[in-house]
Amino acid sequence: MRRIYADWMIYLVLPLLLGGLVGILVLLPVNEFADFHEHNDYYRGLYGDISVSHFVTLRMEEALRGDAPRKLAFYAMLGGILGLLTGLLYGAVNRRTRKIEQLQTALEQDVAALIAGGESGNVEFKSSLRWDLKKGERNRALEGVILKTLAGFMNSEGGTLLIGVADDGGVVGIEHDYPTLKKKDSDGFEVALMTLVANKMGTANCRLVHPIFYELTGHTICRVIVSAAPHPVFVTHEGTRKFYLRTGGSTREMDIEQAIEFIATRWP
């Protein structure tokens, strides 16, 4: 909440105010300077033998006294718009930079060390995407569990999902999922994962999911780095939209009232 308020002030309010001042104190004098040189004979006839600096000062004093309110308002608005556009551009660049830094920090963490550290508020283990190891068959319910975890991370502060790692930290790999895929390798696994996210959470949210594959103890595991979402993320399940949040070491579903209250404070 504090970050959102700070971003709102830095990227919108301050640029708007500073832009307005720049419009009045910079753009307006520049316009008067150009106007003086373009109509030099007219203004010298009106004001006598006046220097350009004196002319600009007089016109600025007139505007600030309220003698030219429309001109003052125009340049204040022009500067404010330019400031606002600059703030929005800076905000977009800054958010992208923060996202890159988050990914770099996550990538610097050793996978083996992540597994050894166990599950936590920002780390979750799942044995597979589709294949039920206990039943020995494909189980679509497991896809829902993956989506639930991804949405929980997106709606909180982001996190890391390791697919191919059992709850106890044992590495089981994702190879058992390969036979269920059209392309039976890690590329096919990534396509299936991203298609699942696009279909159930929205294509735009695919940009928040970053799968990376590692070889560990003779198995392939998929490390999914999940970025925090700039908006609420819902999972569509059997025609119903569900909202999940990562709290502590688990992901839980919020009812409508809880979700509305949380969304109102996180994304005002």
Give the pLDDT confidence of 46-103 residue by residue, as tens digits.
777 888 888 888 888 888 888 878 888 888 888 888 888 887 887 777 777 776 666 6
User: Are residues 59 and 115 located together in one domain of the fold?
Assistant: no
What contacts 122, CB < 8 A, 6 or more positions away? 153, 157, 158, 159, 160, 246
Asked, for residue 40, whether it belongs to a domain, the answer is yes
User: Are residues 158 and 64 located together in one domain of the fold?
Assistant: no
Distance CA(180)–CA(137), nearest Å, equals 10
Residue (of 196, 203, 197, 169) closest to 180 by Cα position: 196
* pLDDT band, residue 261 (cuts 50/70/90): very high
Residue 109 near residue 25, CB atoms below 8 Å = no
Asked, for residue 102, whether it belongs to a domain, the answer is no
* pLDDT band, residue 11 (cuts 50/70/90): low
Distance CA(193)–CA(10), nearest Å, equals 36
pLDDT tens by residue, 208-244: 999 999 888 899 999 999 999 999 999 998 889 999 9
Asked, for residue 104, whether it belongs to a domain, the answer is no
Q: Which pLDDT value is given to residue 85?
A: 85
pTM > 0.75: no
User: Are residues 81 and 114 located together in one domain of the fold?
Assistant: no
- Domain stops at, among 34, 60, 92: 92
* pLDDT band, residue 191 (cuts 50/70/90): very high
Domain containing residue 157: 109-266
- pLDDT, averaged across the chain: 86
User: Are residues 126 and 23 located together in one domain of the fold?
Assistant: no
Distance CA(264)–CA(34), nearest Å, equals 49
What contacts 163, CB < 8 A, 6 or more positions away? 126, 127, 128, 129, 146, 174, 221, 222, 223, 224
The two structure tokens encoding residue 51: 């220097």
* Strands, E assignment, the chain: 123-126, 131-132, 137-138, 159-163, 209-216, 219-226, 234-237, 240-247, 250-254
User: Are residues 73 and 140 located together in one domain of the fold?
Assistant: no
Q: Which pLDDT value is given to residue 9?
A: 60
Greatest extent of the chain over all pairs of C-alpha atoms, in Å: 97
Q: Which pLDDT value is given to residue 194?
A: 97
Q: What percent of the chain has pLDDT over 70?
A: 91
User: Are residues 125 and 176 located together in one domain of the fold?
Assistant: yes
User: Are residues 133 and 39 located together in one domain of the fold?
Assistant: no
192/70: higher pLDDT: 192
Q: Which pLDDT value is given to residue 1?
A: 45
Which of 64-68, 128-132, 135-139, 229-233 is least confident?
64-68
User: Are residues 119 and 249 located together in one domain of the fold?
Assistant: yes
Residue 5 has pLDDT above 70, yes or no: no
Residue 2 has pLDDT above 50, yes or no: no
User: Are residues 88 and 128 located together in one domain of the fold?
Assistant: no
